[in-house]
Amino acid sequence: MDDYEKQLWVIAKRRVMFKKSFTVYFLVNSFLCAVWFITIGRHGGHFWPIWSILGWGIGIAMQYANAYTNADFFSEKKEYEKLKNHSESNTEA
């Protein structure tokens, strides 16, 4: 397996992990909202599941960004190539 295929496997694993994490996030927070509604919500109580939704949601958003945005932005290989090309252009001049 070459480097490109390895990189694709890493991206695929990140995306599958995000999908699993998001499913758990959705199910757990739906359950918490149902508990809130059954126990307090009908009487106008404080919506306490918001803390789980927001806190965990930040982590889910970061995991999404890691899985679906441009992975090359944080690539060591890309930075190495830029530095290498920059140093080669300086030595030629």
pLDDT in tens, 78-93: 777 778 788 777 776 5
Q: pLDDT tens for the chain, 93 residues: list them.
A: 787 888 889 889 999 999 999 999 999 999 999 999 998 877 778 899 999 999 999 999 999 998 988 666 666 777 777 787 887 777 765
Residue 92's pLDDT is what? 67
Domain ranges of the chain: 3-92
Residue 11's pLDDT is what? 87
Which conformational region is residue 17 in: left (phi greater than 0), alpha (psi within -120 to 50 degrees), or beta? alpha
Distance CA 6, CA 70 (A): 16
